[in-house]
Structure 1
Amino acid sequence: MKKLLLFALVIASQSFYAQTSVVKKPEYVILVNNEISTMAQVEKYGAEGYVKSMNKGVSEKERDELAKKFGDKIGDREFIFKIELYTEQEKLENDKKAKVQAIQFKKIAEPKNEFILNVEDKAKDFTLKLIDGKEVKLSDLKGKVVLVNFWATWCAPCLMELYDIPAKIITPNKDKDFVFLAISIGEKEAVVQKKVEKLRKDGIDFNFGLDPNSKIWNEYAKGSIPKSFIIDKEGVIKFESMGNTPNNLENMAAEIEKLLAK
């Protein structure tokens, strides 16, 4: 059930960017036992205890096979969710096991803090190589509000967030003292470049940054992505977020507006 909740949440002025085109946002495709389904149906299966496994993303080969079967309904492989259901016999056995586990587990695990730097901490300085070959140093951006967003090409929630950032963050702050740094972590430049070409065709036109060895990432956070940090004009972290959750970008936009007004 916890996984199902997380799944539902997922289904939700500088030269560093040059966003002018209309964004063509992709849609998630949900496959239940290899047949296209809906989120409403998945929620029903989840409530009844039939969800056996959920996997986000498929291989390129598997995506191509699905496209042969379903045609244009199948988009990029990162946005495909595969869900497997229990058979009736498996469900009975799993229900018994779940009752035993419920008795055994009496303590609720404390949520893990995946942030190394926190609100009111001084942002760690870094030099970021941009995908066009230029470099930018964070400390050189003093006097500007900076949004640092950590993402990866394989991360569907990251990509969905990137599709929403132009309208909600970049366009409202164009020609203001604001800089957006989208930093890909742990991936080779060629891999990022290939994904960026696809994003630009869809209207996502940022000058992406590269952190192939996760050096910058390891100074700021750990665990899951996307993660974002808003840094004020004095280089202090004022806001941080994890995941692409409802109202997340709206909250970021409000914080940026507040900091720019100072």
Structure 2
Amino acid sequence: MSKKLIGLTLVAVLIGVAIAGVVKDNIEKTTEFDNIALGSDVDFLATEQGLAKGEMAPDFELTTLDGKRVKLSDYKGKKVILNFWATWCPPCRAEMPHMQAYYEEQAASDNVEILAVNLTKEDHGLEKIKTFKEEYGLSFPIPMDEKGEIGSLYQAVTIPTSYILDTQGRVQTKFVGPMDQATIENIISTMD
């Protein structure tokens, strides 16, 4: 009987150690996310996925929801918020009114363009995207990533994901999760 008790105790200790490790890892990730979500001075560039700070953003050409061809390189000389989103994404829905308000109120004076790349391959059809645009009154360009190549290139696995590019097209920040207007203003104000 004592061997069973020792064995059960050993198993319980090992399970406890495993749970403690998982909890510690989750606490670290949650704290990191909270710092990012609150717009703290944390460098929110992902080190494991996506482009690193200072890298040139890969150029691409897509057709917008309005049928116009846009190239990322056409925006050289402007700061660019390159946002990846889909209509079914609740955080994207929460973010869009803030992006639109910033675009209307400050983008021009801050020399900023917003390119909200819709992950069309993962979305629910063109009509849903058009309805979404109308519902939120979006006036910035919405390039359509119909094949999913640009989202993959920028490793936009979790959405919304936004890359903030400087006037030369270099990555300054990667932000994963929804941004509010104050966060956008804070990020843009820290750029040259």
Q: Does 1:143 align with 2:77?
A: yes
Distance 2:107 2:153 in 1: 27
Q: Does 1:132 align with 2:46?
A: no
Higher relative contact order (CA 8 A, sep 6+): 2
Give, in angstroms, the shift of residue 203 of structure 1: 2.5
Paired residues in the alignment total 160
Matches within 5 A, 1:46-65: none
Distance 1:149 1:120, change over 3 A: same
Distance 1:181 1:194 in 2: 18
Distance 1:100 1:169 in 2: 53
Distance 1:198 1:124, change over 3 A: closer
Distance 1:201 1:158, change over 3 A: closer
Distance 1:251 1:117 in 2: 20
Contact 2:103 2:140 in 1 (8 A): no
Task: Determine the structure 2 residue equivalent to 1:252.
Answer: 184
* TM-score using structure 1 length: 0.53
How big is the alpha-carbon RMSD for the aligned residues of Structure 1 and Structure 2? 2.9
Give, in angstroms, the shift of residue 231 of structure 1: 0.5
Q: Does 1:152 align with 2:66?
A: no
Task: Determine the structure 2 residue equivalent to 1:240.
Answer: 174
Distance 1:196 1:113, change over 3 A: farther
Task: Determine the structure 1 residue equivalent to 2:119.
Answer: 185
Distance 1:129 1:161, change over 3 A: same
Matches within 5 A, 1:1-262: 102-108=16-22, 109=25, 115-174=49-108, 177-187=111-121, 191-244=125-178, 249-259=181-191, 262=192
Which consecutive unaligned segments of at least 5 residues does structure 2 have? 1-12, 30-45
Distance 1:171 1:182, change over 3 A: same
* Identity between Structure 1 and Structure 2 (%): 29
Distance 1:249 1:115 in 2: 25
Distance 1:202 1:178, change over 3 A: closer
Give, in angstroms, the shift of residue 121 of structure 1: 1.3
Distance 1:149 1:185 in 2: 10
Give, in angstroms, the shift of residue 181 of structure 1: 0.3
Distance 2:168 2:127 in 1: 32
Distance 1:176 1:244 in 2: 20
Distance 1:192 1:102 in 2: 50
Which consecutive unaligned segments of at least 5 residues does structure 1 have? 1-98
Give, in angstroms, the shift of residue 159 of structure 1: 1.4
Distance 1:139 1:191, change over 3 A: same
Contact 2:87 2:123 in 1 (8 A): no
The residue matched to 1:187 in structure 2 has which SS?
helix
Give, in angstroms, the shift of residue 252 of structure 1: 2.4
Contact 1:189 1:210 in 2 (8 A): no
